[in-house]
Amino acid sequence: MFFKTIDFSKYASIKVGQPTEVLMIEKDDVIPRDRYLIGGANNLLISPTPPPLMMLSKDFAYIREEDDLLEIGAAMPTGRIVSYAKRYNIAGFEFCSKLPGTLGGMLAMNAGVKAYEIFNILESVQINGQWIEKEKIEHSYRYAVLGGVATAARFRKRSGFDEALLKELLSLRTNQPTDPSAGSAFKNPPGDYAGRLIEAVGLKGYRVGDMAWSEIHANFLVNLGKGTYEEAVTLLELAKERVSEAFGVILQEEIKRL
């Protein structure tokens, strides 16, 4: 183990935060129970007073094939997973091209795009050193209870990387803002879209300081310069309040506040 100072105003995808000491976990280390595990910080909103943080080192960024299984370390970036699948004609990982970050982050929130999500193709997860079958892990839409630190996952190999599907999924990015954000701020409620609801209550493009609800997609909280945690929280709470009053819908945050 060793400490590394990470400046979240540069590292986090939403560019909010400050230099913070993060404990880096190496292979064979005993993983602490009193720290919050972060990955690529693509759906995180770091406060001025975050809890003690830790991160998996490059020791956990690997892909290994064993018989008909593909084992991937939790620190492996999604882009490299897609590149590997494409190179070796492995099906099922095309949707990862739409999702930034690492495999660990995808597992922690059952990340996905439309009907595609990581638990659909998952076989088992290594949690606190033990392999656990996915059926024994509580999960649903954008939700998973790992009950510990995931360091790797296994997938059943299927041949046939789908280039057409890859292009289709990548084309979905055209309706997403290019400003720094943490991805979708809220989960889509059953039968509806968080972005539609936020727009319907007049918040699309609404700005507080340097944080705003994007004018391109209302469910994206974007940083227009030097946005702060407090400004972001103000907008999150305002959206929840207005949508609840107007539609009786309680929006659930997909973004993680630390």
> Which residues are identified as catalytic?
142, 184, 254
Q: Is 227 helix (H, G, I), strand (E, B) or coil?
A: coil
DSSP one-letter string for 85-99 = HHHTTB-S-GGGGG-
Rg (CA), the chain: 18
Tokens representing 52 are 């003690």
Q: How far apart are CA 177 and CA 44, in angstroms?
A: 17
Distances (CA, A) of 50 to 5, 54, 170: 14, 11, 33
Nearest CA among 154, 148, 129 for reference residue 28: 129
Would you call 5 helix, strand, or coil by DSSP? strand
Q: Report yes or no: 155 and 77 within 8 Å, Cβ to Cβ.
A: no
CB burial class (10 A; 0-12, 13-18, 19+) of residue 124?
buried
Q: Which residues of 35-74 are buried (b: 16+ CB within 10 A; e: fewer)?
A: bebbbbbbbbbbbeebeebbbbbeebbebeeeeeebbbbb
Calculate the CA 145 to chain-centre distance.
Answer: 14
